[in-house]
């Protein structure tokens, strides 16, 4: 009888302990507040609303996050979203990862707007459709000219800088409508190095097809007056010895059909903004959109700072709803294994990429910093990231990429008219002209 009397008491104690733990966890989760600064003293409050690697960086004291409510509605221009609604129910994704007409099962010749304006999160192809929407939201920017700066940063601070001018011409999703496209390009891209002198006038050009064909890639070295065909299979190798590869461009520069995608979750996470207020950009007379970028200060620039030398010091962190999409490369020789993408649910902006090696171990992370630039006609700069930072957590090294307002005789422009940037700018003659 004594044994039976003790059992209810034991059960009561267990139940009380259980509910106390539940209440503690609820209070703990509710402790996060926008407007507070988070550092190594209160990092626990961030758990659940930040990726694990960001929590660890704050816990270690490498990052200090200033959080704030945004002073604008973070959304793509309404005209683009209205155009997207015309695509509702038209398209699907086939087993090979390509967009096809739902009825004819054939690839469309041209799409403008989000191909999948409504995402069924329960469908097995939801992850692939989210990635497709990101691509076409990015394609709406048309012709892009982007002076940029890449910094190599180690534990001791800044190591070296490379300045380049990149160009991209989107065939699919072009805001001006369908363009003659006999070669079925998805887009064409080019990069011309401005400095250092050891790399000056090195030009890389890549042609990306909207089908099974591998990309066509060239390098041109002015000092040797020589073109070299480069392997498109090297897209996962370190670029110029940095912590990023070609496919890490703007967090994902690869072709969606080369990966298997799966939606694995939804949540709210802290994301990095270049400024808490919207930025007024300029409408150029020729129709281009001229970008303005706030200067992002890094840890190595502050001699009294306690953060890591690669840490952005003046970024505003705010909450955004995201999908978490898992990507697995189809190529068995790809250098990365699983990757997790944190994709903004409203704009399809990529905020974070969590990278694992082929054995499944966490390796490094990349996160984007986005400003909200709006021109007088309502067009925005969204999906044209202000900057992004790759941190290799194994070797404790980082690479920071940021856009420049101008450099190398070029302004940072979006929505360039074809008269300024078009197919004529992506051929061998155009490469040679850049190197003169």
Question: What would the pLDDT profile of 362-416 be if each residue is shown by its tens digit?
Answer: 999 999 999 999 999 999 999 999 999 999 999 999 999 999 999 989 999 999 9
Q: State how far the Cα of 135 lies from the Cα of 114, in Å rounded to an integer.
A: 9
DSSP 179-198: ---TT-EEEEEEEEEEESTT
Which tokens go with 315? Answer: 């970024």
Residue 198 lies in a domain: yes
Query: Range of 109's domain?
Result: 78-434
In a domain? residue 152: yes
Q: DSSP string covering 240-253, please? A: TTSS-BGGGGGG--
Asked whether residue 31 is domain-assigned, the answer is no
In a domain, 16, yes or no: no
Residue 29: what pLDDT?
A: 44
User: 2: which 2 tokens?
Assistant: 């004594």
Asked if the structure places residue 344 within a domain, the reply is yes
* Alpha-helical runs (H) found in 31-108: 52-59, 78-85
pLDDT at site 34: 93
Question: Closest Cα partner for 393 from 367, 424, 429, 368?
Answer: 367
Q: Pick out the chain residues at pLDDT < 70.
A: 1-30, 223-224, 232-233, 435-436
Rounded to whole angstroms, how far apart are CA atoms 345 and 384?
Answer: 16
Domains in the chain, number: 1
64 is a domain residue = no
Record the pTM. 0.91
Q: Tell me, what DSSP letter sits at residue 275?
A: -
Q: Report if residue 132 sits inside a domain.
A: yes
Q: What is the CATH number of the domain that holds 429?
A: 2.50.20.10
Q: What is the pLDDT of residue 22?
A: 45
Residue 2 lies in a domain: no
User: CA-CA distance, 108 to 110, in Å (whole number)?
Assistant: 5
**What is the predicted pLDDT for the residue at 31?**
81
**Rounded distance, CA 48 to CA 68, Å?**
18
């Amino acid at each position: 009888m004594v044994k039976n009397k003790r059992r209810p008491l034991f059960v009561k104690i267990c139940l009380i302990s259980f509910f106390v733990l539940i209440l503690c966890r609820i209070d703990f989760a509710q402790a996060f507040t926008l407007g507070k600064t988070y550092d190594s003293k209160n990092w626990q409050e961030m758990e659940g609303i930040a990726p694990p690697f960001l929590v660890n960086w704050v816990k270690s004291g490498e990052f200090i996050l200033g959080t704030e409510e945004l002073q604008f509605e973070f959304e793509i221009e309404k005209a683009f979203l209205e155009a997207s609604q015309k695509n509702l129910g038209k398209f699907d994704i086939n087993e090979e990862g390509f967009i096809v007409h739902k009825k004819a099962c054939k690839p469309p010749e041209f799409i403008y707007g989000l191909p999948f304006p409504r995402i069924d999160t329960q469908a097995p192809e939801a992850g692939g459709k989210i990635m497709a929407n990101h691509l076409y939201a990015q394609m709406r920017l048309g012709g892009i000219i982007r002076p940029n700066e890449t910094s190599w940063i180690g534990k001791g601070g800044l190591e070296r800088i490379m300045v380049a001018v990149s160009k991209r011409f989107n065939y699919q999703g072009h805001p001006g409508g369908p363009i003659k496209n006999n070669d079925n390009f998805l887009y064409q891209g080019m990069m011309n190095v401005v400095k250092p002198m050891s790399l000056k006038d090195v030009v890389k050009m890549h042609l990306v097809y909207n089908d099974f064909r591998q990309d066509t890639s060239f390098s041109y070295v002015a000092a040797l007056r020589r073109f070299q065909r480069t392997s498109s299979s090297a897209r996962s190798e370190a670029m110029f010895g940095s912590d990023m590869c070609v496919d890490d461009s703007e967090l994902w520069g690869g072709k969606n059909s080369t990966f298997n995608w799966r939606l694995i979750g939804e949540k709210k996470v802290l994301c990095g903004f270049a400024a808490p207020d919207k930025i007024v950009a300029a409408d150029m007379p020729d129709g281009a959109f001229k970008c303005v970028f706030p200067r992002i200060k890094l840890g190595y620039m502050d001699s009294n700072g306690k953060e890591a030398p690669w840490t952005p010091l003046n970024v505003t962190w705010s909450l955004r709803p995201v999908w978490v999409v898992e990507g697995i490369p189809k190529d068995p020789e790809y250098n990365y294994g699983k990757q997790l993408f944190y994709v903004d649910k409203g704009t399809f902006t990529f905020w974070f990429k969590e990278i694992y090696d082929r054995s499944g171990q966490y390796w490094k992370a990349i996160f984007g910093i986005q400003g909200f630039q709006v021109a007088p006609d309502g067009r925005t700069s969204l999906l044209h990231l202000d900057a992004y930072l790759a941190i290799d957590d194994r070797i404790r090294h980082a690479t920071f990429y940021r856009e420049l307002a101008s450099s190398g005789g070029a302004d940072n422009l979006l929505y360039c008219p074809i008269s300024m940037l078009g197919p004529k700018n992506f051929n061998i003659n155009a490469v040679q002209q850049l190197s003169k």
